[in-house]
Structure 1
Amino acid sequence: MARYAFIWELGGAYGHLGRMIPVARELQQRGHEVVFIIRELVEAERLLGPHGFKWYQAPLWIGRVLHLPDPLSLAELLMGFGFLDPPALLSICRAWRNLLAALAVDALLFDCSPTAVVASRGLGLPSLNLANGFQVPPTARPLPPLRWWQKAPPARLLDSEQQIVHVTNQVLYELGAPPIENVLQILSGGDDVFATLPELDHYPQRAGGDFVGPIYALGRGEAVHWPAKGALKVFAYLKPDYGGLDALLTVLSQLDASVLVHIPGVSKRTIEKFGSDQLQISRQPLDIEQVRQSCDVAVLHAGLSTVAAMLLAGKPVLLFPQQLEQTMFARSVETLGVGVSIAEAAAQFPRLVKRALADASLAEKARQFADKYRGYDQQHAIRAVADRCEALLGKA
């Protein structure tokens, strides 16, 4: 049997581990071993420990790059993570190689791990890229711009890509590995499998793609107990560092609704300030299956996994994106008519939230989306990715 390394380098929240853990458990049941090399260790004990997985800290860029403009493309996004500094990037790549050698793995599964992809180049380890869509754009030169509302001069985009390729090839030369030809070879370490649905793709212009469907199982969270007060059941999953948190909680507390809110690591002050007989706040994740079957609407930051889980249950969403990836994804959701994206403008929250909740078309479109995918079974998606992982062994 084989030993796989499941690797997650960039991005936050539960989504990355949420995609990888079900696939790892499937491989484990088939007799393989899976080790995790991950960005954030805070939740590892709770999420990985119960399944007997071993985990290691991913070698990460922790420096700061000053005076960079807002990134217009994924190439420019990489500039903030060491891809402008050949010596530093080389050091991190050597750390990756040392770790992979020490673990003696047979194959790799990447989830948003560009430096690990570069480091593994030339090692002869077969790999698969499990993507949510954002980190692997459609093939184009230059790559598609991320900020569709902003002018993106093609000359700037091409120049940025050339810089990234030049720095990466300097590092690959030192590692004795074959050079790359384009930025996509950094973003994707092998065949791409998209754990999403075509309608939810971050890039509406993508043609084709291996879409297996969303994978959002995290195991069971806490049992769901809705506050008794309130006609509408509203579930919210929010982040404690969200700039509009207090303003949004104020709006939710004023609704004629039974509100359950999950905020990981939320302060005691916030719980005491906003908790009531119609709004309850939990630091611990709630059982996502119970939540999506019993809620009427979900208030989220536009993380793909939770949004997909809600839509597949026919529940509309109100989205409050925190960063660029979520903003792109929220646009796709809004285009479907199953949700509303609300920018961080706290003064507008009461009006926008109440207007969205009163829009019956959102719930109707969400039910139509769920009907279209009524036969979707994420266990099939999990098995399909595990099959692809096993197929890698024949490529070694």
Structure 2
Amino acid sequence: MLNKHVVFTWELGGGLGHITSFSLLAKALLDKGYQVSVISKNVSLVADVLGHLPIKVYQSPLILQSTDNLKVTYSYAEIIFDWGYKSTATLCPLVDTWKNLFELLKPDLVIADHSPTALVACKILKLKNIIMGTGFSTPPQVAPLPSLESMKVPDQKAFLQHENQVLSSINGVLTKYNTLSFEHLHQLFNVDDNFLCTFAELDHYSTRNGADYCGPCFDIDVGSSFVWGKSKSTKVFAYIKQNTPGFELLLAALIQSNNNLVLYIPQANAKVIEICKKSKNAVLLNKPANMRQVLNEADMIVSHAGHGVVSAALLHGKRLLLVPSQLEQSILVYLLAKRRLVTAVNPRNEKINYAAAIQFTCTNAELGKNIEMFKQKYAGFNSSDQLENMVKSCENIIS
């Protein structure tokens, strides 16, 4: 029995995908005899996915965004600028808290998902660490960090100033702990390994050179089984949040489409529940759906463009109508729509014809052809081999 301790971290971002992306690796390491812990932004989501496993869960350090946030963020530096990196004074308490957690847990290896401050603490404590993610939170190692795909920087001077300010904040903390300062911000991402869990078509940085993509990482065996309605029409599964702009219009269009509809709407309110009850073609779930069943049975999926759901759907040849709700999803949608692999809508556009978008997604021949070509291109992708390689890398780093 091994006694080595692996700690997974999740600091920024939202959604179930941050947990399901590393859940299979966590299970595999447990099977190998490793001790596994998770420091998570959302401990409830960890409990939903990993609660049945012998994993200890801890709350990650949090900071409330200030009122003077950047109106638009064009790079990873500007994203973290708003989350404690404006100054050493605001960053230091966060780093101190991560450092305290690591000193308590004594990890032999840290696996970080969108956790920049955890990476700073790892530098100070000289902990072995791996970055795991879709690429959005792992910019290419160049100076300055590039802008995200599709983001055109209007003010290059301010863009560089923000990165320099972030770098200065980090270096102030490193100096406090007698740790070698960074010359460039990309040095934060100098780690023992980088699990770049995506494909080139889904990478948020087209400027990345020599990337070693290990393919998307997702767990489709989470969630509960469900029963479709009796309709013989097209089976459509939708996972949408009711705080999304245009939600009511989208919901109405889905129900009026007369497709065989299964909906998962987290914390659906009484009005939504009543609307679904009155519908003859909609089944409303009160918990996440089993994604293996969705991928096996649905003809079309509507979602907010979480990387795991999108990747799994395309690998299974499923049509997608995507309604992005934040920056990472919006860029992913841009990349895929540009390749005619998905149907995309901007939920903030009040003039969207959702009914037409649903019909187009269900029936467009070009879309179906492109999805099939993508599926065939990556037909050799094997998630079991991917997981085995990740475990081997962890073992090599720890040993």
Give the letter for the 1:298 counterpart: I
1-structure distance, mates of 2:190, 2:366 = 38
The C-alpha deviation readout for 1:249-271, integer Å capped at 9, x for no partner, is 11100113101111222223212
2-structure distance, mates of 1:152, 1:386 = 43
1-structure distance, mates of 2:220, 2:174 = 36
Q: Secondary structure at the match of 2:318?
A: coil
The C-alpha deviation readout for 1:281-337, integer Å capped at 9, x for no partner, is 213111111111111111111110000111010012111111111111111211332
Q: Which residue of 2 aligns with 1:41?
A: 43
Q: Which residue of 1 aligns with 2:381?
A: 376
Give the TM-score taking structure 1 as reference length: 0.94
**2:365 alignment partner, one of 360, 364, 380:** 360
Q: Which residue of 2 aligns with 1:288?
A: 291
User: Displacement, 1:140?
Assistant: 3.1
Give the letter for the 2:369 counterpart: E
1-structure distance, mates of 2:71, 2:192 = 30
User: Displacement, 1:122?
Assistant: 2.9
2-structure distance, mates of 1:346, 1:320 = 13
2-structure distance, mates of 1:151, 1:6 = 33
Q: Is contact 2:30–2:36 with CA below 8 Å preserved after alignment?
A: yes
Higher mean C-alpha displacement, 187-196 vs 83-92: 187-196
**Residue 70 to residue 257, structure 1, CA distance change in 2 (3 Å):** same
**2:390 alignment partner, one of 385, 390, 396:** 385
Higher mean C-alpha displacement, 149-158 vs 67-76: 149-158
2-structure distance, mates of 1:67, 1:24 = 35
User: Displacement, 1:168?
Assistant: 0.9
Q: Which residue of 2 aligns with 1:341?
A: 344
Q: Which residue of 1 aligns with 2:167?
A: 165
Give the TM-score taking structure 2 as reference length: 0.94
Q: Is contact 1:230–1:256 with CA below 8 Å preserved after alignment?
A: no
User: Displacement, 1:163?
Assistant: 1.0
- List, as ranges, runs of 4+ consecutive aligned residues in structure 1 with deviation greater than 4 Å: 187-190
Give the letter for the 1:330 counterpart: V
2-structure distance, mates of 1:120, 1:279 = 48
**Residue 76 to residue 310, structure 1, CA distance change in 2 (3 Å):** same
Q: Which residue of 2 aligns with 1:268?
A: 270
Q: Is contact 2:150–2:334 with CA below 8 Å preserved after alignment?
A: no
* 1:309 and 2:312 matched: yes
Q: Secondary structure at the match of 2:43?
A: coil
Q: Which residue of 2 aligns with 1:239?
A: 241
User: Displacement, 1:45?
Assistant: 2.4
Give the letter for the 1:297 counterpart: M
2-structure distance, mates of 1:384, 1:268 = 46
Structure 1: any 5+ residue segments left out of the alignment? none
Q: Which residue of 2 aligns with 1:351?
A: 356
Q: Is contact 1:72–1:152 with CA below 8 Å preserved after alignment?
A: no
Q: Is contact 2:88–2:170 with CA below 8 Å preserved after alignment?
A: yes
User: Displacement, 1:240?
Assistant: 2.9
Structure 2: any 5+ residue segments left out of the alignment? none
Q: Is contact 1:142–1:157 with CA below 8 Å preserved after alignment?
A: no
**Residue 288 to residue 188, structure 1, CA distance change in 2 (3 Å):** farther
Give the letter for the 1:88 counterpart: T
* 1:226 and 2:228 matched: yes
The C-alpha deviation readout for 1:132-171, integer Å capped at 9, x for no partner, is 1111122333322237354433332222211111111011
Give the letter for the 2:376 counterpart: D
Give the letter for the 1:347 counterpart: K
Give the letter for the 1:196 counterpart: T
* 1:321 and 2:334 matched: no
2-structure distance, mates of 1:381, 1:271 = 40
Q: Is contact 2:192–2:397 with CA below 8 Å preserved after alignment?
A: no
* 1:258 and 2:282 matched: no
Q: Is contact 2:87–2:166 with CA below 8 Å preserved after alignment?
A: no
User: Displacement, 1:6?
Assistant: 0.5
The C-alpha deviation readout for 1:28-61, integer Å capped at 9, x for no partner, is 1111111000100122322222011110001122
Higher mean C-alpha displacement, 2-11 vs 330-339: 330-339
Percent identity of paired positions between Structure 1 and Structure 2 = 29
Higher mean C-alpha displacement, 287-296 vs 143-152: 143-152
- The size of the alignment, in residue pairs, is 394
The C-alpha deviation readout for 1:160-212, integer Å capped at 9, x for no partner, is 21111111101111122221122223356442211111221122232222211
User: Displacement, 1:98?
Assistant: 0.9
Q: Which residue of 2 aligns with 1:186?
A: 188
Q: Which residue of 2 aligns with 1:96?
A: 98
**Residue 78 to residue 142, structure 1, CA distance change in 2 (3 Å):** same
**Residue 259 to residue 374, structure 1, CA distance change in 2 (3 Å):** same
2-structure distance, mates of 1:330, 1:375 = 24
2-structure distance, mates of 1:166, 1:65 = 21
**Residue 132 to residue 191, structure 1, CA distance change in 2 (3 Å):** same
